Amino acid sequence: VQLQASGGGLVQAGGSLRLVCAASGRAFSTLAAGWFRQVPGKDREFVAGANNLGTTPAYAASARDRFTISRDNAENAVYLQMDSLKPEDTAIYYCAAARSLRTWYNGWDSWGRGTLVTVSS
């Protein structure tokens, strides 16, 4: 599956952004999907994940209660609604997909190009 993330940009602290990951190729509805982020010089970190049906989402502690992952399999897309953004959310955000996962943190098969999110204070 090919993935392309979009929707990043510059926003003030407290603002919102909605990231979109468009998928093409292999049946996206059979894959788990997730969002990661990376700050230059640091490891990429898990943000949020959803199973193939979009039920039982999972979130990193830093994202819980502020971010919401959702997906529309008819549109081959997964979304990340980010509210109450903080300067520490500034990073490149990547979407990923996987056929099967044991944990949310590794085992992802496909990665899209990232989209930059910058939160100003």
Q: pLDDT tens digit string along 46-65?
A: 999 999 999 889 999 999 99
Say what the pLDDT of residue 34 is: 97
> Under a CB-based contact definition with an 8 Å cutoff, are residues 82 and 62 in contact?
no
The pLDDT value given to residue 55:
87
Per-residue confidence (pLDDT) for residue 56, from 0 to 100 = 87
Instruction: Give the span between the Cα atoms of 49 and 34, in whole angstroms.
Output: 4
Burial class (CB in 10 A: 0-12, 13-18, 19+), 120: exposed
**Percentage with pLDDT > 90 across the chain:** 88
Task: Quote the CA–CA distance of 3 and 66 in Å, as a whole number.
Answer: 24
Structure confidence at residue 87 (pLDDT): 97
Q: What is the mean pLDDT of the chain?
A: 95
User: What pLDDT is stored for residue 74 in this prediction?
Assistant: 93
Task: List pLDDT tens digits, range 5-29.
Answer: 999 999 999 999 999 999 997 789 9
Residue 36, φ and ψ in degrees, nearest 5: -130, 165
Q: Does the pLDDT at position 72 exceed 90?
A: yes
The neighbour count for residue 54, using CB atoms within 10 Å, is 17
